[in-house]
Chains A and B, each alone.
Chain A
Amino acid sequence: MRKMLFVDPEKCTGCRLCEIACALHHEKTLNPVRARVHVAKWETAGLYIPILCLQCETPICETVCPLRAIKRDPNTGAMLVDYDLCVGCRLCVQFCPFGGVEIDAETGKVRKCDLCGGEPVCVKFCEPGALQYIDETTTNRIKRKAAAERYSELMKKLLATV
């Protein structure tokens, strides 16, 4: 069973541990702008959403790459950049609709989530569980349960009024 990095924004507390742990793991330096995951924040409304590559089934980055430098890792399913082929044209950055690929200001190359080879560091550091690395099928179960809870709340309300 393949795993996926599941984002549950309702649980995010905006602490940015995912960003700093990611940067420290990949770049061996503390610098959240060089992370591969970022928390999009609407501070005055209290909304926090972690954003990172979704490892699409039909990845646009792969399609637009003129040098076929973005390939899927058969083990984890992550889309990986082959830096021997990448020329830094940034077409992937321009076309990804989720902001999942970005440019590293220091190297000029593109940078994206590689699922840390199957053990994502951001997930380890995410205490509230806004980031989870779980079986693809489980993600549906989580959503189903959440929906069922909402239904049951509704049922309770409806029954209470009868």
Chain B
Amino acid sequence: MVWNRKTAYVNLSTEKIVQKPISKKMRSLYLGGRGINMYLLYNHVKPRINPLGPENVLLIGAGLIGGIPCLGSGRCDIAAKSPLTGAVGDSNIGGFFAPELRFAGFDHLVIVGSAKKPVYLWINDGEIKIKDASSLWGKDAFETQTAIRNDLGDEDIKCLVIGTAGENLVRFANVRTGMKNSAGRTGMGCVMGSKKLKAIAVRGTMNLEFAYPDELLKYCKEMNDMIMSTRWAKAQSRWGTMVIFNNTNTTGLIRTRNFQLNRSEEGRDLEPESMDRYSIGMAGCYGCTVHCRHRYVLREGPYAPLFGEGPEYTSLGAFGTMVDCKKMETVLVANHLVNKYGLDTLETGGLIAWAMELYEKGIINEKMTDGLKLEWGNEAVLFEMIRKIAMRDGFGSVLADGFKDAIAKIGKGSEYYAIQIKGMSSLQSDERATPSLALGIATATRGADHLRSRPAIDLYGLPENLLEEIYEGPVSSDYTSYEGKSRMVWWQELLYAVTDSLGTCKFQTVFCALHAPKWKEFSKLIHLVSGIEISKAQLMEIGERICTTERMFNLREGFSRKDDNLPERFFKEPTPIGLPIARNRKIDKEKFNKMLDEYYALHEWDNNGVPQKETLKKLRLDKEPSHII
């Protein structure tokens, strides 16, 4: 049964490893994945520690229903205190790692301490060994996986690895598996690097038993049909997440030249159709019918031959519009580079775009940038900056510390141009025309981010009676309106917290498709997998518990209402171009603050975003840290 999957506590300093069961009580409070990780984060990370010290705790978690044949159930949640923001560090990764971890007998790993020399963990059917990784140190994210498979003589081994960027403690180094999957955000690869943990390799052949296997198989097929009946999934199957680009760029919802423009007028080549030149087919993560990424080959040009996977919509911004590059090939090469070095694509692109604007404004100059002319759209400069960041070479090292430290170092009003919240860069989406999306990035617990609470279906202008039915309260169907948008964000935040704890893919719940599996379907899947009954209300309460736990962590680290804010430019500079609905828009500060009040009230937090006593009691969080596990 799923109940026999364990938590392993690994101390890299003392090399002591302890295995413990996960109690049903913990499951009923937090499910698994991100939920249990957030509990562990709050309980095992002491307040105000150095995120790069041995006392930081690296948490790896598979979801409660992870591994089932539907909904992209191979998601893995990785958490720690973020070295980029100092807030909740949490990142979600697809691929094939999490199910393999379950097949090897584990659902959660709690890794503390730091090794004296480079090591990797080898997890195989209930056993965990700490192995020497001296020969792997210095290898990139692709080479490392191949080397481990060769060393251990099993090509079916799945790995979480860091590349050069993680070794060099770049604050936004990511954790990678396979050719493309990345736990990109909040610098979890940097935490691995600080622990001298190069990789976690896993291979499992143990049965994972379910309460009702026959019914589950049948229901999983229904779930797959349900998600594939949505246009969003069909479009993603063909074009990947890049399909979003056509819509947002046409409308004028994409940051271009950092934040100067809201669409790339000459960016036709960035449209997903260009991928037909390079794609040899799509690739799917574990158990996924949507398969939203390309397998691509560059056959010609200075970077050929090159095989890669992706790119995501995010990379079209990071290495396309935000830095004003206009060629798909540039994005493909840059995407390959960040994957090789193990860098977060969004943070890397966001910082380089910012630096380019600072260069244009004369705030930084060639003396500071080691002679590099940081001009818009300069592909060679982009590639060189990626390398410099990963290697912490010269000016690259300034950016490698992330926005907070780089702003402090550069000064001279550079902060105004930084599109970041809580120290983390935002997606290329321009939220000035969309208050709901703006509130989402402002309040996301891990810093500016679209995967914490984004109500993307707000952009569809759905009928209001339908929206009211879903969100259980009045919501305006006009995406430029502020009415009911706090409710949308709050509702999505709870749903995504539960999705991340179940181990399924956010794109296979209400992200861009209304008729996608949600509470009712999740309840049934949990029942068929584990035998327990959890109602929709209980699931929403679990979502609330997870979000509030994250909130408590951030409050303890000194974050407050003032950090749930947007960069000044959102309030000051109206969008210059785009369709009429997106043109000449900016966020109204007063209305934004009202939205924020409403959002806190929905969470039952006070006006400063502090959870009220009764709320904590109701969520059974009044005795935290409780150290139940």
Do residues A13 and B283 form an inter-chain contact, with CB atoms below 8 A? yes
B335 at the interface (CB under 8 A from A): no
Query: Are A15 and B287 closer than 8 Å at their CB atoms?
Result: yes
A13: chain B residues at CB < 8 Å are 281-284, 288, 291
Closest to B292 in A: A13
CB of B307 closer than 8 Å to a CB of A: yes
Q: Is the CB of B470 closer than 8 A to any CB of chain A?
A: no
Of the candidate stretches A39-47, A95-103, A136-144, A145-153, the one touching chain B is A39-47
B45 lies within 8 A of chain A by Cβ: no
Question: Which are the 8 A-B pairs with shortest beta-carbon distances?
Answer: A15-B284, A46-B295, A127-B289, A13-B284, A13-B291, A30-B208, A29-B207, A28-B213
Q: Is the CB of B210 within 8 A of A30?
A: yes
Q: Closest chain A residue to B143 by CB distance?
A: A44
A residues near B283, Cβ cutoff 8 Å: 13-14, 46, 48
A-B contact pairs, 6 of them (CB 8 A): A17-B287, A30-B68, A30-B208, A46-B179, A106-B207, A127-B291
Contacts of B213 in A (CB 8 A): 24, 28-29
User: Is the Cβ of A44 less than 8 Å from the Cβ of B207?
Assistant: no
B105 → chain A, closest Cβ, in Å? 12
**From residue B67, how far is it (CB to closest CB) to chain A in Å?**
5
Which residues does chain A contribute within 8 Å of B207, judged by CB atoms?
Answer: 27, 29-31, 34, 106
B151 in the interface (beta carbon within 8 A): no
Residues of B370-417 contacting chain A, CB below 8 A: none
A21: chain B residues at CB < 8 Å are: 69, 217, 220
Q: Which residue of the partner chain A has the closest CB to B295?
A: A46
Interface residues of A (CB under 8 A from B): 10-11, 13-17, 20-21, 24-25, 27-34, 43-46, 48, 105-106, 121, 124-125, 127-128
Residue of B nearest to A15 (CB): B284
Please name the residue on chain B nearest to A121 by beta carbon: B217
Instruction: Report yes or no: A14 in contact with B284, Cβ–Cβ below 8 A.
Output: yes
Q: A20-B287, A33-B205, A121-B217 are in contact. Are A43 and B179 (CB under 8 A)?
A: yes
Q: Please, which residues of chain A bring their CB within 8 A of the CB of B68?
A: 20, 30
Cβ of A108 to closest chain B Cβ, rounded Å:
15
Contact A24 B280 (CB under 8 A): no
Known contacts A21-B217, A30-B209; can you find 8 more A-B pairs with CB under 8 A? A10-B281, A13-B288, A15-B289, A16-B286, A34-B207, A43-B178, A125-B289, A128-B237
B324 at the interface (CB under 8 A from A): no
CB pair A20 B281 closer than 8 Å = no
A-B contact count (CB 8 A): 95
Among B206, B214, B288, point to the contact of A15 (Cβ < 8 A): B288
B206 touches A31 (CB 8 A): yes
- Is residue B142 contacting chain A, with contact meaning CB distance below 8 A? yes
A91–B282 CA distance with the chains assembled, in angstroms? 38
Q: Which residues of A sit under 8 angstroms from B179, Cβ to Cβ?
A: 43-44, 46
Q: Is B36 an interface residue (CB 8 A)?
A: no
Partner of B96, one of A16, A24, A125: A16
A77→B285 CA distance, assembly (Å): 33
Name the distance in Å between A102's Cβ and chain B's nearest Cβ: 13
Residues of B within 8 A of A48 (CB): 283
| CB of B490 closer than 8 Å to a CB of A | no
The answer on a CB contact under 8 Å between A31 and B289 is no
Contacts of A20 in B (CB 8 A): 67-69, 287
CB distance from B261 to the nearest CB of A (A): 35
B221 at interface (Cβ–Cβ under 8 A)?
yes
**A127 to B, closest residue via Cβ:** B289
Cβ–Cβ contact A16 & B287, under 8 A = yes
Looking at the assembled complex, report how far the CB atom of B204 sits from the nearest CB atom of chain A, in whole angstroms: 9
* A15-B288, A17-B69 known; A44-B214 Cβ under 8 A: no
Q: How far is the CB of A104 from chain B (nearest CB, A)?
A: 11
Chain B residues whose C-beta falls within 8 Å of the C-beta of A28 in the assembled complex: 213-214
- CB distance A124 to B221 under 8 Å? yes
| Least CB separation from B207: chain A residue | A29
Asked if B275 is at the interface of the complex by the 8 Å CB criterion, the answer is no
**A residues in contact with B69, CB < 8 Å:** 17, 20-21, 24, 125
Residues of B within 8 A of A33 (CB): 103, 205
B419 interface hit (Cβ, 8 Å)? no
Contact of B280 among A31, A46, A121 (CB under 8 A): A46
Q: Does B224 contact A (CB under 8 A)?
A: yes
| Residue B107 is within 8 A (CB to CB) of chain A in the complex | no
Residues of B within 8 A of A105 (CB): 205
List B187-212 residues whose CB lies under 8 Å from chain A.
Answer: 205-210
User: Which residues of B, 208-244, contact A by the 8 Å Cβ criterion?
Assistant: 208-210, 213-214, 216-217, 220-221, 224, 228, 237
Check A44 against B103 for contact (C-beta < 8 Å): no
In Å, the complex CA distance between A145 and B509 comes to 37
The reply to whether B224 and A125 contact each other, CB–CB distance below 8 Å, is yes
How many whole Å from A120's CB to the nearest CB in chain B?
Answer: 13
B226 to chain A, nearest CB (A): 12
How many Å lie between the Cα of A77 and that of B216 in the bound state?
Answer: 29
Question: Is B309 in the interface zone, CB < 8 Å from A?
Answer: yes
Q: Measured between alpha carbons, how far is A48 from B309 in the docked complex, in Å?
A: 14
What is the bound-complex CA distance between A13 and B220, given in angstroms?
19
